[in-house]
Amino acid sequence: MTVVTGSCLCRSVRYEAELPFLRASHCHCSRCRKHSGTFGGTQGRVPKERFRLLEGEELVRVYEPAPGAARKAFCSRCGGSLFGGFWPEGEEVSIRLGSLDEDPQIKPQHHTFVDSRAVWDELPDDGLPRYAENPPK
């Protein structure tokens, strides 16, 4: 069993996840862009039972952009972006890959919501599939 650890920038929030990640992607939607401050969000998913929050749960703040919309969970002390999806109730945990301290042994597999990308986001050709909105089911 391989476990990777992750933490926010100030390291007050720490977690671990058992590999493998189920999938990973870059999302260029405007909500991910606003939250991250860059082109969008990059995240990978693990089932809830393979994830453990080790420290700092009281510092994790959750913002829900609209009812039912994917959430943005971050450290209230340092602003480090940590989790998305339906944290903390979701069956899968969407982990921001930038918060990991170790190699998740997966790389983003596609780009989603590219039709919503910023005017300055030139989306260079990296060979990954691109989807206008969500990936096909």
Partner 1 sequence: MTEIVRGSCLCGGVKFEVELPFVVAHHCHCTTCQKHSGAAHTTSGRARPSQITILEGKELLGSYQPAPGQGNKTFCTVCGSSIFGGAWPDGEYVSVRFGALDGDPGLRPQARTFVAYNAPWYEIPDDGLPRYEERRP
DSSP reduced 3-state for 101: coil
Is residue 79 near partner 1 by the rule CB under 8 A?
yes
According to CB under 8 A, which one of 47, 59, 76, 110 is a site residue for partner 1? 76
Report strand pairing: 23-27 vs 111-112.
parallel
Q: What tokens were used for 134?
A: 């969500």
According to CB under 8 A, which one of 15, 51, 74, 113 is a site residue for partner 1? 74
Is residue 85 near partner 1 by the rule CB under 8 A?
no
Contact 96, 82 (CB under 8 A): yes
Is residue 48 near partner 1 by the rule CB under 8 A?
no
Is residue 77 near partner 1 by the rule CB under 8 A?
yes
Is residue 58 near partner 1 by the rule CB under 8 A?
no
Contact 5, 13 (CB under 8 A): no
DSSP letters for 58-97: GGEEEE-SSTTSPPEEEETTT--EEE-TTTTT-SEEEEEG
Contact 113, 132 (CB under 8 A): yes
Is residue 42 near partner 1 by the rule CB under 8 A?
yes
Query: What minimum distance in Å lies between the beta carbon of 112 and partner 1?
Result: 14
Is residue 136 near partner 1 by the rule CB under 8 A?
no
Binding site for partner 1 (CB under 8 A): 7-10, 24, 26, 31, 33-43, 61, 63, 65, 72-74, 76-82, 96-100, 103-104, 106-108, 118-120, 122, 124-126
